[in-house]
Structure 1
């Protein structure tokens, strides 16, 4: 198994709420989330939630190769729930959540699962790059984030608008007409995007948190084929370095409005045999 992985927190001394890991036939990436500045109701925190769920999910999809990925995710969410439902308020509006990407190589196929706005990048043997992401959160966000994008990133006014925006998002979480993400309810797994691709058609698969895809989907300075070429030639660390370089040149978000000047960024690149 040939896997290269890099993960960087949003800033020095900041806790990284992303999680990524690989096993001989599987890989996962999770991007933990909460409501900015709000209590989570969980004594463990967002990074604990994403890493615990990610570790359990990787173990489950590896140990049960015949069980569907969505069912494995539901089992893993339930297992995490059982670990802290006696100590934490899982009904709290800002309870930790996480996007989920999962892939598993079986006999002849690569199975995949996508939940939330992280991106899976599939590379065909002919060089074509196909990005798979869950657009539901982005679609909801576009309807709500106008007041946030009109203000300089990091300003007090921006922070207040961002808090209101994320509070509104929370009201649409895991319900019809909103978006779906891993949290306390195992039923969210039923709404994941799933599929399978013949292994013989693939050269690689890359898992990317939204902090690592900003060159394409936020800054529009790169394309998915160019991102794939960069990952193949220089690896995830170089991709994240370039993201940080562009972010530093627009720290207040005047050219590229965004919720955070920097975000946790994680990229896992798996070259398939």
Structure 2
């Protein structure tokens, strides 16, 4: 595989909580779940520490083992949990978490895993690509966004509503009937979306955190099919530039209500048969 990627923090002076890593036959993408001011956590480690530690662990596992991706994800979560379960109260709902995409080419097949609301796109040569995104968070979150979406971004009222929103979602995280992400429980890996497809059927793949996928899912700047063209012809940085332009044009979320004015954004373009 040949991989090109770009990743930008929401703000230049803040840490990027996304993780992207690749080898010749594997790609891993994580989107750490930001913890807004006012939401307490009994874990002393940052979201960036979690996403980068788990991401590098998963990439190493995929390089060393041909095991099923959910099994590798469960092992990775268990390993990272072991690194801080003696120093942090991991029973607290505010422990760091992240979405996960894993993509691996082995022999003549392509294995994939998606956990959480990051997006995987597979270009199979058809007019509409295969788009895989775990939408359980959106299903749970929609009823709780009404007050948040009604308030202008950048105001104290919006910040307080976002804090309440994140705390509410914490009650649904990694619960039956809720949504699933990587955090402290390796059983979350069993809830991931997974699949296998002949590698010869896939021309290219795209891995996107929601901050990059917003180009289609929120701002409707393009289509999924055209997004693949942007990545291939102009590169992942161009996609993120367009997202930033849309964000700056609506700083208070009047046209596109959202919890954050800017978000970390990561996009990877993968040529499968390169």
TM-score by length of structure 1 reads 0.97
SS in 1 for 2:45: coil
String of CA shifts for 1:46-80, please: whole Å, max 9, x gaps: 00000000010111122111x11000000000000
Structure 1 residue aligned with 2:270: 270
2:58: which partner in 1?
57
Distance 2:134 2:260 in 1: 20
- 1:229: which partner in 2? 229
2:171 match: 171
Q: Compute the displacement of 1:34 (Å).
A: 4.1
Matched residue of 2:153: which SS? coil
Report the counterpart of residue 197 of structure 1 in structure 2.
197
Distance 2:256 2:126 in 1: 33
Deviations, residues 212-238 of structure 1 (Å, cap 9, x unaligned): 011211112321011111111101000
State the distance in 1 between where 2:234 and 2:156 align. Answer: 38
Cα distance, 1:143 vs. partner?
1.7
The equivalent of 2:10 in structure 1 is 10
* Secondary structure in 2 matching 1:212: helix
| Alignment partner, residue 104 of structure 1 | 104
**1:195 CA drift (Å):** 0.4
Once the two structures are TM-superposed, the CA of residue 186 in structure 1 deviates from its matched residue by: 0.5
Take 1:126 and 1:232, find their aligned partners in 2: how far apart are those partners? 16
- 3-state SS of 1:213 partner: helix
Q: What's the TM-score once normalised by structure 2's chain length?
A: 0.97
Q: What is the rounded CA distance, in whole Å, between the counterparts of 2:100 and 2:7 in structure 1?
A: 15
Q: Which residue pairs with 1:251 in the alignment?
A: 251
Aligned to 1:47: 48
What is the CA RMSD across the aligned residues, in angstroms? 1.1
Helix, strand or coil at the partner of 1:211: helix
Q: Match of 2:133?
A: 133
1:132-191 CA distances to partner (integer Å, 9 max, x unpaired)? 000100111112111110011121111111111111100000011100000001010010
> How many Å separate the matches in 1 of 2:45 and 2:126?
45
Which runs of at least 4 in structure 1 moved beyond 4 Å after TM superposition? none
Preserved contact between residue 203 and residue 271 of structure 1 (Cα < 8 Å): yes
- The answer to whether 1:143 aligns with 2:143 is yes
Q: Does 2:68 align with 1:71?
A: no
Please name the residue that 1:155 is paired with. 155
Secondary structure in structure 2 of the residue aligned to 1:232: helix
Q: How many pairs were matched up?
A: 272
Q: CA deviation at 1:126?
A: 4.6
Match of 2:84 in 1: 84
Residues 35 and 167, structure 1, Cα contact 8 Å, conserved in 2: no
Offset of 1:40 from its aligned partner? 2.7
Deviation of 1:127 after TM superposition, in Å, equals 5.6
- Unaligned stretches of 5+ in structure 2? none
Q: Is the 8 A contact 1:6 1:268 kept in 2?
A: yes
